[in-house]
Structure 1
Amino acid sequence: MTTGLRRSAAIEGISLALLTLVAVPIKYWGGYQKPVEFIGPLHGMAFLVFLYFLIRAIAADEVGLKEATRLFLGAFIPLGGIVNERWLRQRDSARHPSGTTGPGHFSDPVP
């Protein structure tokens, strides 16, 4: 259901944390720019992928406007993507208590 959104939220959150908590301090305190030059574009790509999955989830009516706003704002906080991923996982498991995620799930009986 929202597996792509969950995974992209986690990757985006980790990349933002690496950028802001590791690469930027190395740049300003250590005078070494390479980590920012490497992690910055990776984080940018991760953020765009996250936005793609968020827009797709909105279009498929998998998340509402309030939820989408929460997810979007969380993407601007270091490790906020990890919180978003965990929240999405809990929300999905509450909606599908048996562990299935809808039609086509591997535990569906074969017709």
Structure 2
Amino acid sequence: MLSFVRFMALLEGTSLLVLLLIAMPLKYHFDMPEAVKLIGPIHGVLFLAFNAVLFGYAAKGHLSGVKAVLGFFASLIPFGTFVYKYKVLK
């Protein structure tokens, strides 16, 4: 049941890493702002989608409120959703 939440956590975390480790260096070191213009909105949509799925599952009773809030805070920090996926969503 929570496999979709795990998948969304993986997507959201990966998109942040792509933004931080690929797109931003391309923008600032190689003068390619297009990378951030492309990846930034994708990450934003995935961030919102992850949190919508997270709180949707909590509203339906498939996930506790505490785990949903932990997931939200995990989505705010780099590598947070990966840790959340492995530690909280076992």
Flag whether TM exceeds 0.5 (same fold).
yes
Deviations 1:28-66 (A, max 9, x none): 222211111111111111112212211111112222222
Moved over 6 A (4+): none
Judging by fraction of residues, say which structure has more helix. Answer: 2
Determine helix, strand or coil for the equivalent of 1:76.
coil
1:29 alignment partner in structure 2: 29
1:107 alignment partner in structure 2: none
- Sequence identity percentage: 33
**Equivalences, count:** 90
2:2 alignment partner in structure 1: 2
Q: How does 1:1-111 map to 2 (within 5 A)?
A: 1-90=1-90
Q: Is the 8 A contact 1:10 1:84 kept in 2?
A: no
TM-score by length of 2: 0.86
Q: Is the 8 A contact 1:5 1:53 kept in 2?
A: yes
Task: Report the Cα distance in structure 2 between the residues aligned to 1:80 and 1:25, rounded to whole angstroms.
Answer: 21
Alpha-carbon offset, residue 4 of structure 1: 1.4
**Structure 1 unpaired stretches of 5+:** 91-111
Task: Report the Cα distance in structure 2 between the residues aligned to 1:66 and 1:89, rounded to whole angstroms.
Answer: 12
- Paired letter, 2:81: G
Over aligned residue pairs, what C-alpha RMSD do you find? Answer: 1.5
**Structure 2 unpaired stretches of 5+:** none
Q: Is the 8 A contact 1:26 1:33 kept in 2?
A: yes
